[in-house]
Structures are given as C-alpha cells and as structure tokens.
Amino acid sequence: MRYSFDCVVVGSGIAGMTAAIYLKRSNVNVLLLDNDAPGGLLNKISVIENYPGFDKISGPDLAYKIYEQVTNLGIEIRYGKVLDIKDHIVKTDIEEITTDKVILAVGRKARKLDNTNDIKNISYCALCDGNLYKDKIVAIVGYSNSAIEEAIYLSDICKKVIIIGRGSSFKGEDSLVDKIYSKKNIDVQLDCVIETLNKEKNLLNEIVTNKGIFKVDGMFVSIGYEPNTLFLNELEKDNGYIIVDNKMKTNIDYIYACGDIIKKDVYQLTTAVGEATIAAINVKKTL
Ligand SMILES: Cc1cc2nc3c(=O)[nH]c(=O)nc-3n(C[C@H](O)[C@H](O)[C@H](O)COP(=O)(O)OP(=O)(O)OC[C@H]3O[C@@H](n4cnc5c(N)ncnc54)[C@H](O)[C@@H]3O)c2cc1C
C-alpha cells in the first residue's frame, strides 16, 4: 500500500514540532496535525527559566521560535482533531490520512475541579486570564511547580494572590519556592483544604477552607494533569499514559509516542524534546 505520508505527527506542542523538525531534516515526508494553535502547553507558560539557551523566555515566544523553524523547513501542517488511528489510517474530524508511521505527541490537559462547571470566574490558565483580575484578589489552588509559577505571574498583576495547597510543603523547585516567599502580596496557605465554594450569580466570591474563609474575585486551578488519550483504546497505557520502550515505540508496531503523553517520571520541556528526538530518529531508521 502506498501511503500519503511516511509519518504523521499528532500534536504540535514542543514534542510534536521537535519530532517533525528531525523527520523533515532527514528527508521524511511528514505531516504535523493539531486541532489547536502550534505550541500546545507552551502557550500557557508565562516565563521559562530552565530551557537551555534562554535565561528567560515566555512560553508563547519559545513556541513561535520553534514554529518559525517548522515553517522555514516547509513542514506541512494541517488542522484536525484525531479521533482514531487504525491500520495506518489517521482519522480526524475532517479527513482520513494514510501513513506508514505515526508519532503521538498529544500531551495532557489540566485536571478540573469537580462541580464547578457553572462558575464563571474559575480559570485553568493564569497566562490566558490573569489580566482579567488586574488589582483584584485571586486564589490559586495547587502547590506544584506549575501552581507556583502561575502564582508568581499573577502576583505581578493582582492585588493579592492566595495559594491554597492541600500539601504541607510545596512540590516545586527551591528557587521558585524562594520567590513565592519573597513576594509580599502572596499569602501561602498550606495544609489547606477547600470545604465549600460560595457563589453569587455564578461568580465565586468566597472559598471556605479548614484554615478560614477567603474572599476572592476569581480562582485559578492548577491541580495536575490528565493525559489526552481518549482515543486509541488498544494502546497499552498506565493510568492513561502511553507506555513506550526505549525507542519511544508503543505496543503497536508503527505507532510511537513522546512528550507529556507517555508514562515517565519527569514532565518537562527538555524531556519532551529528548523523547521526540529519539522517536523521530527511530521512525526514520524503520522507513
Ligand atoms: C503552567 C505550566 C508551566 C510549565 N512550566 C514549565 C517550565 O518552566 N519548564 C519546563 O521544562 N516545563 C514546564 N511545563 C511543562 C511543559 O509545558 C510540558 O512538559 C511540555 O510543554 C509538554 O509538551 P508536549 O508537546 O508533550 O505536549 P503539549 O504541549 O500539551 O502539546 C500537545 C498538543 O497535542 C494537541 N492535541 C491533543 N489532542 C489532540 C488530538 N486528538 N488531535 C490533534 N491534536 C491533539 C494539543 O492541541 C497540543 O497542541 C509547564 C507546564 C505548565 C502547564
């Protein structure tokens, strides 16, 4: 069977774009597919300080630089939400594409707080919605690296930021934790559990916790992520994360995976880039 592409890369976050760059430079006929803007999670990061080559760069700026590299190489990008992959056919909500190999780089999405769908002033992205709360009081729920970064970003916009974390200490880089404690308008509440969210006309105005009641104008949530693998039930997974071998190959012979979607210990930009490189080089070897 002649395929339309040698390799379809699903997801144009940092992992997908990296894989596409390596493939195109090896003369592989590659297609990059996404149902959103290129960059994935990068578009939601205010400041990155741990990516080699940049002391400090915003996520959207890094995404744009990589995207420029992708377009300069002439890599074909198409819009489409992948619904299924079977027998070398990638089915999107728009078309069906035949391909020899597939690299999945679909990342993960923010975990939602239960029973909050009707509340309008709860956000899952400080970079996207922070400006709506200029000089206001907001809470951020979470105590991991992402929550800390978002709290620091919000503290430069909002009058006050209350961090509500269930844990007894932060789960984040020491330098970021130090920054939190150096900010005068960040109120840290650890061992703090939300009991009730009081609202008026679908707007949250009070967070009732075991540590007291906090009046807020809005709330940001950063309580972890879940993988974007609703499709592809026959892939071997652990808690939704795709299991790969050291070549980034899944249990299905022609499908590889890399980045935040795979089962691993460290979910960072640099690890996503490394895994994408391994996946692309191994795909090239098998074509
Ligand atoms: C707030 C925050 C701050 C962070 N800060 C840092 C940091 O400072 N340093 C660091 O190293 N890491 C940081 N990270 C982690 C880092 O952003 C991720 O590890 C990395 O971006 C993952 O890249 P990825 O390409 O695997 O996935 P993603 O960036 O999530 O890309 C996945 C892409 O797949 C697409 N997609 C999903 N499903 C489908 C489908 N069915 N069909 C088509 N396309 C699909 C999505 O639209 C998306 O574009 C941070 C994360 C967050 C949330």
- Ligand 1, atom 44: closest residue by C-alpha: 34
pLDDT of residue 2: 84
142 CB within 6 A, ligand 1: no
SS3 268: coil
pLDDT of residue 176: 92
Q: CA-based diameter of the chain, in Å?
A: 66
What CATH class has 112-221?
A: alpha beta
- Render the burial of 98-125: b for 16+ CB within 10 Å, e for the rest: ebbbbbbbbbbebeebeeeeeeebbbbb
43 CB within 6 A, ligand 1: no
Nearest to 235 by CA among 265, 255, 263: 255
- Please report the DSSP string for 34-99 in residue order: ESS-TBGGGGG-S-B-SSTT-SSB-HHHHHHHHHHHHHHTT-EEEE--EEEEETTEEEESS-EEEE
Residue 106 Cα, ligand 1 centroid: separation in angstroms? 8
pLDDT of residue 232: 78
Structure-block tokens of residue 128 = 């996207």
8 A C-beta contact, residue 46 and residue 52: no
Residue type, 196: T
pLDDT of residue 114: 87
123 CB within 6 A, ligand 1: no
| Topology match between the domains 5-109+225-286 and 112-221 | yes
Q: CA neighbours within 13 Å on the CB side: how many for 268?
A: 13
Backbone dihedral region of 52: left (phi > 0), alpha (psi from -120 to 50 degrees) or beta?
A: beta
**CA pair distance 262, 185, nearest whole angstrom:** 37
- Ligand 1, atom 13: closest residue by C-alpha: 268
Ligand 1 test: best mutation among 41, 96, 150, 223, most atoms within 8 Å of CB?
41
105 CB within 6 A, ligand 1: yes
42 CB within 6 A, ligand 1: yes
- Torsion, Cα of 270, 272, 278, 283 (10° steps): -150
Task: Kindly list the domain boundaries of the chain, sorted by start residue.
Answer: 5-109+225-286, 112-221
pLDDT of residue 1: 66
- Render the burial of 197-220: b for 16+ CB within 10 Å, e for the rest: bebeeeebeebebebeebebbbbb
pLDDT of residue 230: 63
Ligand 1 test: best mutation among 31, 43, 45, most atoms within 8 Å of CB?
45
The model's pTM is 0.91
For domain 5-109+225-286, which CATH number applies: 3.40.640.10, 3.30.310.50, 3.30.565.10, 3.50.50.60?
3.50.50.60
Segment-wise mean pLDDT, segments of 10 residues, the chain, 287 residues: 93 98 98 97 92 95 98 98 94 97 96 89 92 96 94 96 96 92 96 95 95 96 87 88 97 97 95 98 97
8 A C-beta contact, residue 20 and residue 30: yes
- Ligand 1, atom 14: closest residue by C-alpha: 268
pLDDT of residue 128: 87
275 CB within 6 A, ligand 1: no
pLDDT of residue 233: 81
Residue 13 Cα, ligand 1 centroid: separation in angstroms? 6
Residue 42 Cα, ligand 1 centroid: separation in angstroms? 6
Instruction: Specify the ligand 1 atom closest to the Cα of 269.
Output: 11
**CA pair distance 88, 31, nearest whole angstrom:** 14
pLDDT of residue 117: 86
